[in-house]
Chains A and B, each alone.
Chain A
Amino acid sequence: MTRTRLNIFLWIMALALSCAAFNARAALTIEITGGATLQIPVAIAPFTGEEAYPDKLSQIVAADLARSGLFKLIDTAGMPIPRGPQEVRVADWKAKGTVALAIANIVAQPGGKLDVQFRLIDTLRQDQVVQLAGYSLPTSPTQLRLTAHQIADIIFEKLTGDPGAFSTRIAYITKRGPVFDLQVADSDGHNAQTVFSSREPIISPVWSPDGARLAYVAFDQKKPIVYVQNLATGQRQIAANLKGNNSAPAWSPDGRQIAVVLTRDGHSQIYSSNADGTGLKRLSNSAGIDTEPNWSPDGKYLLFTSDRGGSPQIYRMPSYGGEPVRLTFEGSYNVSPRYSPDGKSFAFIQREGSQFRVAVQDIVSGQVQVLTNNAQDESPSWAPNGKMILYATTILGRGVLSAVSSDGRVKQKLSTQAGDVREPAWGPLIKPKL
């Protein structure tokens, strides 16, 4: 397995932060280009014991929260660092405008294990220390970054009411010179690893619902073939290699089936099969192009792109096949539909003039909100908590990834130092055992 670790520099532009010095080793640079109008003021105290490790946990937690655009990080410089709730002087933190304070101790355990004892304190109370959350997180020196992301997830959920998505991973394709790499990285761009490399194109990576496998399309046999790769073992198997093209894989929510697009009958039509390629069944039936299937979270429907009406538009059909319903009517080019995690809306790419932009449509009302103002947006992918949409775009001729909050207010740009990044896929939320 190839493990690439490129230098990065991480700029936080929109927010003045106390935590400017991040550990700079990852493939992706993340830059915020907007923020929520109301940001929650929160303080992350340095964790006691964190100085013994190269990754400073409190800084990782603060960076996660800042990147979401929903938090204002309060400077902890000059404040006494509480080693436990009994040492928290609530009034001092309240005076700094803080609504909540995170404190933690890293405690060594037998056998090289670690325990991160974390507490989130309500600092709006005047006289008493009220704990919003308290967890003892077992971990190890190599898993500390993951633990930090889990703490950020807990803080995010306690203070916004929505689950966090920091302890997730993203997959994407890089192109450097003639080489295409399928990479997997943490949601903050760190720990980027190449899981498949080829001198022929790779497109359309999608995560299995359990996060253990990636399906993708590779051209290393001079035509598009769908593969499924186990991330832990690196083993890959062919999921679809029939005459013609094999592309656009999508997992069913139970992880048992994949939908694929085949041209075995001459033109692009949607089929489903088991993940190993057995049990093939044709689902769509048109004389034109049917492609880009995407399963609803409840497994009942498939969204897809079809030109059956004369221009590419988004349709929905039952996941066992059957009569489709057209969903998009504005404009002559609506493609790449992706259900939101709650199944109530979908993200897609809409062309206006010569501009391709990320939009979201409510399924019931049909109302459309265009979220971006770029020229060449592609491949939207929802964060598993439904709060952000990651997509590919082009800036000055270079492929970069961007993310936009589902209300359009917060924007992030993710790029590599060299080459193009494209085809992002945000991985599922894997609940940590707490």
Chain B
Amino acid sequence: MKRVYLSLIVASLLSACASEPPKTQTSVPVEDRTQTSKTTTQPADTRPLTPPVQTVSPLKDPKNILSKRSVFYDYDSFDVKSEYKPMIEAHGKYLADNPKAKVFLQGNADERGSREYNISLGNKRAESVRKMLSVLGAKEEQMEAVSFGEEKPRAECPEESCWSQNRRTDIVYQGE
């Protein structure tokens, strides 16, 4: 589908080029461009160098801060550290600008302690991000804070190097 579309663009560009022969070619040309055009009347072999720019979602563009999705926490804490604020602000603005976009704030905890208490702790983490997004202009109906507790660890080992990765809120857009 995409290839057909691109071929049509290329074909139309080339035919446009070919249909515009210089009409005032009375003076002596330094270069004979029309000759060159005529030698490339088979457009099927050509490709554009870059795809259309508008198909890259800002949410997926690795150069865009919106592609950053995780907030990490200290042990037994749900305070959002200042280093994550620019990222959360960008998502708040995106949600305010795109009222149809919906996010899940997914809170997580490390494996220590009660599974149910960790669900509640993960919820506090997700809720802390949800409240910040709300202040930044995201609507209530665009957001749902949920918790996985300790049930979906990103890293699995019984030490801090893994635990620190699992104390986390992830911002996940609907449909992702």
What residues make up the interface of A, taking CB atoms closer than 8 Å to B? 201, 203-204, 219, 222-224, 243-245, 247-248, 261, 263, 266-268, 289, 291-292, 305, 312, 333, 335-336, 349, 351, 354, 356, 376, 378-379, 394, 397, 423
B113 interface residue (CB < 8 Å to A): yes
Among the listed B112, B144, B151, which residue makes an inter-chain contact with A243, where contact means beta carbons less than 8 Å apart?
B144
A-B pairs, 9 with minimum CB distance? A201-B151, A268-B120, A223-B146, A335-B114, A289-B120, A248-B116, A291-B120, A336-B114, A292-B116
With a CB–CB cut-off of 8 A, which chain A residues contact B112? 354, 356, 376
List the A side residues contacting B124 at CB < 8 Å. 267, 289
- How many residue pairs bridge A and B at CB < 8 Å? 95
Contact status B117-A291, CB under 8 Å: yes
Is A244 a contact of B114 with CB atoms below 8 Å? no
Write the chain B residue with the least CB distance to A397: B158
B169 within 8 A of A: no
**B151–A219 CB distance below 8 A:** yes
Instruction: Verify if B103 is at the interface (C-beta below 8 Å from A).
Output: no
Can you name 20 A-B residue pairings with CB atoms under 8 Å? A222-B146, A224-B119, A224-B146, A244-B145, A245-B120, A261-B116, A263-B120, A263-B123, A263-B145, A266-B145, A267-B123, A268-B119, A268-B120, A268-B123, A305-B117, A312-B117, A336-B116, A336-B117, A356-B113, A423-B115
Q: How far is the CB of A354 from chain B (nearest CB, A)?
A: 8
A397 to B111: give the CA distance in the assembly, Å: 12
Are the C-beta atoms of A245 and B119 separated by less than 8 Å?
A: yes
Contacts of B138 in A (CB 8 A): none
- On chain B, the residues within 8 Å of A397 by CB distance are 158
B79 to chain A, nearest CB (A): 15
Task: Tell me, rounded to whole Å, the shortest Cβ–Cβ distance linking B166 to chain A.
Answer: 14
State A349–B118 Cα separation when bound (angstroms).
Answer: 14
The minimal Cβ–Cβ distance linking B56 to chain A, given in whole angstroms, is: 26
Contact-size category for B: 20 to 34
A351–B113 CB distance below 8 A:
yes
Question: What residues of B have a CB within 8 angstroms of the CB of A292 in the complex?
Answer: 114, 116-117
Q: How far is the CB of A392 from chain B (nearest CB, A)?
A: 9
Q: A263-B127, A268-B123, A291-B119 known; A244 and B144 CB under 8 Å?
A: yes
Report the bound CA distance from A197 to B32 in whole Å: 74
| Bound-complex Cα distance A291 to B121 (A) | 10
Question: Contact between B158 and A204 (Cβ–Cβ < 8 Å)?
Answer: no
B139 is an interface residue with CB less than 8 A from chain A:
no
**Are B116 and A266 closer than 8 Å at their CB atoms?**
no
* A201 contact from B111, B145, B148, Cβ within 8 A: B148
Q: Apart from A261-B119, A336-B114, what 4 extra A-B contacts exist at CB < 8 Å?
A: A203-B116, A219-B151, A291-B116, A356-B112
List residues of B (145-164) whose CB comes within 8 Å of A's CBs: 145-149, 151-152, 158
* A220, chain B: closest CB distance, angstroms: 12
| B144 touching A335, Cβ below 8 Å | no
Residues on A with beta carbons closer than 8 Å to the beta carbon of B152: 201, 219
Instruction: Tell me the minimal C-beta distance from A376 to chain B in angstroms.
Output: 7
Contacts of A351 in B (CB 8 A): 113
* Residues of chain A with a CB closer than 8 A to B173's CB: none
Contact string against A for B residues 87-120, beta-carbon threshold 8 Å, 1 for contact and 0 otherwise: 0000000000000000010000001111111011
B127's partner among A222, A261, A266 (CB-CB below 8 A) is A266
CB A171 to nearest CB in B, in angstroms, measures 15
B115 touches A204 (CB 8 A): yes
Query: Which chain A positions have C-beta within 8 A of B111?
Result: 376
Q: Are B146 and A289 in contact (CB under 8 A)?
A: no
Expressed in whole angstroms, the Cα–Cα distance for A420 and B145 within the complex equals: 29
Tell me the bound Cα distance from A291 to B145 in angstroms. Answer: 17
Contacts of A335 in B (CB 8 A): 113-114, 116-117
CA distance A379 to B152 in the complex (A): 18
- A244 CB contacts on chain B under 8 angstroms: 123, 144-146
Kindly state the separation between the CA atoms of A292 and B120 in the bound complex, as whole angstroms: 10
Q: Nearest A residue to B147 by beta-carbon distance?
A: A245
For A223, the chain B residues whose CB sits under 8 A away are 104, 144, 146-147
* Identity of the chain A residue whose Cβ is nearest the Cβ of B141 in the assembled complex: A243
Chain A contacts for B151, CB-based, 8 A: 201, 203, 219
In the complex, the chain B residue whose C-beta lies closest to that of A312 is B117
- CB neighbours (8 Å) of B119 from chain A are 203, 224, 245, 247-248, 261, 268, 291
Alpha-carbon gap, A376 to B123, bound state (A): 22
Chain A residue at minimal CB-CB distance from B111 = A376
Q: B117 — which chain A residues lie within 8 A by C-beta?
A: 289, 291-292, 305, 312, 335-336
Which interface residue of B119, B145, B152 has the most chain A CB atoms within 10 A? B119
Which residues of B sit under 8 angstroms from A266, Cβ to Cβ? Answer: 127, 145
Residue contact A379 to B115, C-beta cutoff 8 Å: yes
A247–B117 alpha-carbon span in the complex (Å): 10
